[in-house]
Chain A
Amino acid sequence: MRDLTNNPTKFAIETTNLTKKYGDLVAVDKLSLTIDYGEVFGLLGPNGAGKTTIISMLCTITNPTSGTATVNGFNILKQSANVRRSIGIVFQDPSIDDRLTGRENLQLHACLYDIPTELTRRRVAEVLNLVGLEDRADDPMRTYSGGMRRRLELARGLLHSPKVLFLDEPTLGLDPQTREHLWTYIENLSRSSEITIILTTHYMEEADRLCSRVAIIDYGKIKVVDTPANLKAALKGDVITVTTAQPEKLATRLTELKLTTYIDASKDTLRLTVSNAEKLIPRLIKITAEIGVEVSSVSVHHPTLNDVFLYYTGHEIRTEEAESLFRKYMMIGRPTR
C-alpha cells in the first residue's frame, strides 16, 4: 500500500460549491463544508435529502454537476484513484457476495486494494476480531443475519486501513441490540485510531451519540453545522407542550408578554420554546387562570437533536399547514441564518 499520509491539506474533507443535478432536480445544492481529521461527522437529514449523493460524489462513484471537493487532500475529479485508495466505505445497501464466505469477501477486498499478501492474513484477523466474527468467518455469507453482514461490511471497509471511512446509514433496518453493538464498534474505532468518519443517518440518537459535529441537510442544502451540544443549546432552552382547547388565546397572550422565543400551535396543543421550563410553569399556570383558558395537560421536554432538526427544517415539513391561523406565531424568535 502506498503511504497516503503525506499530504499538505489540513482537512480530511473540503467541498467547494459541490452540486449535483438530475435533470431539474437539484439533489445537492452548492455544498461547501470542511471536515477535520479525526472527526466523526454526521450528515443528518430525511430520506431524499441528498446525503447518499454527497457520499457518492466524495467516493468518486458519481461526478458532480459543478463544484469540487478534496478527500484526504486528493481532488475527487483529478485524483480519483488516490481518493479511492485512502477511503473505506460501508454502503447503505448490502454490497457483499453472499455466495462467498466472510473471509473470502475480505480476501477479495485485500486483492482489490493491493494489500501485501504477508499483511493480508494479519489484517483480516484483526478486523474480524474487531467486529466479533472470527467464529463465522468461514461460513458462506448467505447464512449470516442482517446484523452480521453489516458488521462484516464494516470490517471490510476498515481492512485497508483507510484514512477516511464513509458509513452510509450504517444501522438502517437493524434491531436495537445490533444497532447498539455497531455503535460501540464505531465509538471504539474513533477513540482508538486517527480515522475520520463521515456517517449519514436519519436517526437522531445515532447522530447525537456518535458525532463530534453534525450537518443538518434538507433538500440538498446544509441548514446548520455544529456540535450536537451546541445545536441543542442554540434552541435556547426547553420545550413546554400545553394541551388546551384555546391555544390561540393563550398564544396571543404569551406573545404579548414576550415569555417565549418560539411558539408553534396546532388544533389543541401549543409548543413553547423557553429558556427554563421548570421556572416558567408556575407563571404559565397563573396566566392561563387570568385569561380563563382551561389547560388539560402540561409537559416539559428538554431538547434533543430531533427538536433541532424540526427547528431547522420545520417550515418545509409543514407547508401543508401554512394556511393555519397560527402561522404568524411560528416565525417568532427564529434566528436568521
Chain B
Amino acid sequence: MSEFKKIYGLWRREVTRYWREKSRIISSLIMPVLWLLVFGGGMRGMELSGTQSYQTFIFPGIVAMTLLFTSVWSGISVIWDREFGFWKEIMVAPVSRTSIVIGKALGSGTSALIQGSIMLPLAFLVGVHLSPLSFIILIPTMILISIGLVCIGLLIASIINSMEAFNFIMSLVIMPMFFTSGALFPLTSAPGWLKSFSHVNPLTYGVDALRWATFSQASSPLPIQVEFLILVLFAAAMIVACSYAFSLKK
C-alpha cells in the first residue's frame, strides 16, 4: 500500500506543476495546430488511396505528436529537477526506484493526456467524426503511449547532464521518431529503408493504435491486438530500464 501513496505523491507533483503553467499548456498547442490546420490544409489536395482527406488522415498522427513532445520533454525535465536540486529530495527518500519512475510516468502521462485531449475537439474542424466509443478507447491508448514516451525522456535524462543537448535530442530523437512513425503519411507506400525505421519506432504502433481508435480501422497490416501488445511491452520494458538507470549510484 505504502508504495501507492509514494507514487500518488509524485503523480500529484507532476500534475500540479503542469496545471499551474497555463501559458505552457497554450504554447505547446500551437505547433500541433499549425501542423493540422496549416500543413494539413495546404496538403489537402494530396491523393490518398482511401476515401479520407489528408487532414483527416493526419489527425491521429498530430495527436500522437502532441503526446510525443509533451511526454519526452516531461521526462527530460528531470534534468532541471537535478539542476535545481529537487531530485535529491526524491533520491534520498525511502522510495523504490520503480515507484519513482512509475510516479513520474503516470504524472507526465496525465499531463500529456490532458494536452492530447485538448486536441480532440479539433477533430470536428478537420472532418473527423469521433464517436463516444472512440473517445473511450482513445483515453487509455493515449496514456499507454505516453508512459513509454516519458520513459524515453527519463532515460535521456539519466544519460545526459545538461539542457545544452536540447538541439541534439530534438534532431536526433524527437523529430526522427515523429517522421518515421507514419503520423504524416501512410507507410504502405514508403521506401524500404524508411519502413525498417518505422518498424523499430514504438511511436509507429502508437500512431496506428490512435488511428484505429479514431477511424475503427488501422493502416498497418499487423492485427491491432499485436500493436497494443507491443505498446504494453514497450512501456513495461522502459519502466524496468529506467528503474535500473536510476538505481545506479555514483
Q: Which residue numbers of A lie inside 8 Å of B, CB to CB?
A: 59-63, 81, 84-85, 89, 91, 93-100, 104, 107-114, 156
Contacts of A99 in B (CB 8 A): 16-17, 20-21
Q: Are B94 and A84 in contact (CB under 8 A)?
A: yes
Q: Is B137 an interface residue (CB 8 A)?
A: no
Contacts of B84 in A (CB 8 A): 94, 98
Q: How far is the CA of A308 from the CA of B6 in the complex (A)?
A: 46
A-B contacts, 7 of them at CB < 8 A, read A61-B249, A62-B250, A81-B94, A91-B88, A96-B85, A111-B6, A113-B93
Q: Are B17 and A112 in contact (CB under 8 A)?
A: no
Contacts of A59 in B (CB 8 A): 92
CB distance from B248 to the nearest CB of A (A): 10
Q: Are B9 and A108 in contact (CB under 8 A)?
A: yes
Contacts of A62 in B (CB 8 A): 249-250
Contacts of B125 in A (CB 8 A): none
The residue that A112 contacts in the complex, of B16, B85, B88, B90, with Cβ under 8 A, is B90
Q: Are A84 and B249 in contact (CB under 8 A)?
A: no
The residue that B13 contacts in the complex, of A63, A85, A94, A100, with Cβ under 8 A, is A100
Looking across the interface, which residue of chain A has its beta carbon closest to that of B85?
A95
Known: A84-B94, A100-B13. A93 touches B85 (CB 8 A): yes
Q: Are A111 and B90 in contact (CB under 8 A)?
A: no
The residue that B12 contacts in the complex, of A63, A91, A108, A113, with Cβ under 8 A, is A108
Q: Are B5 and A111 in contact (CB under 8 A)?
A: yes
Q: Is B8 an interface residue (CB 8 A)?
A: yes
Which one of A61, A91, A98, A99 has the highest number of Cβ atoms from chain B below 10 Å of its Cβ? A99
Q: Are B6 and A63 in contact (CB under 8 A)?
A: no
Looking across the interface, which residue of chain A has its beta carbon closest to that of B95?
A112
Q: How far is the CA of A104 from the CA of B20 in the complex (A)?
A: 13
Taking residues whose C-beta sits less than 8 angstroms from the other chain, chain B's interface range is 20 to 34
Q: Are A109 and B16 in contact (CB under 8 A)?
A: no
CB distance from B15 to the nearest CB of A (A): 11
Contacts of A110 in B (CB 8 A): 9
Q: Is B38 an interface residue (CB 8 A)?
A: no
Q: How far is the CA of A113 from the CA of B86 in the complex (A)?
A: 16
Known: A81-B94, A111-B6, A111-B8. A91 touches B20 (CB 8 A): no
Q: Are A113 and B91 in contact (CB under 8 A)?
A: no
Looking across the interface, which residue of chain B has its beta carbon closest to that of A107?
B9
Q: Are A100 and B94 in contact (CB under 8 A)?
A: no
Q: Are A113 and B17 in contact (CB under 8 A)?
A: no
Contacts of B81 in A (CB 8 A): 97
Contacts of B92 in A (CB 8 A): 59-61, 84, 89
Contacts of A97 in B (CB 8 A): 13, 17, 81, 86
Q: Is B89 an interface residue (CB 8 A)?
A: yes
Contacts of B21 in A (CB 8 A): 99
Q: Are B6 and A61 in contact (CB under 8 A)?
A: no
CB distance from B13 to the nearest CB of A (A): 5
The residue that A113 contacts in the complex, of B16, B85, B94, with Cβ under 8 A, is B94
Q: Are A100 and B91 in contact (CB under 8 A)?
A: no
Known: A91-B88, A93-B85, A100-B16. A85 touches B9 (CB 8 A): no
The residue that B89 contacts in the complex, of A85, A96, A104, A114, with Cβ under 8 A, is A96
Q: Is B27 an interface residue (CB 8 A)?
A: no
Q: Is B51 an interface residue (CB 8 A)?
A: no
Contacts of B95 in A (CB 8 A): 112
Q: How far is the CA of A104 from the CA of B21 in the complex (A)?
A: 16
Looking across the interface, which residue of chain B has its beta carbon closest to that of A80?
B94
Contacts of A61 in B (CB 8 A): 88, 91-92, 249
Question: Nearest 3 A-B pairs (CB), nearest first?
Answer: A111-B9, A84-B94, A112-B93
Q: How far is the CA of A275 from the CA of B94 in the complex (A)?
A: 52
Binary CB contact string for chain B from 71 to 96 against chain A (1 if under 8 A, 0 otherwise): 00000000001001111111111110
A sample of 12 more A-B contacts (CB under 8 A), given A61-B88, A99-B20, A108-B10, is A85-B94, A93-B85, A94-B85, A95-B86, A96-B85, A97-B86, A99-B21, A108-B13, A111-B9, A112-B10, A112-B89, A113-B93
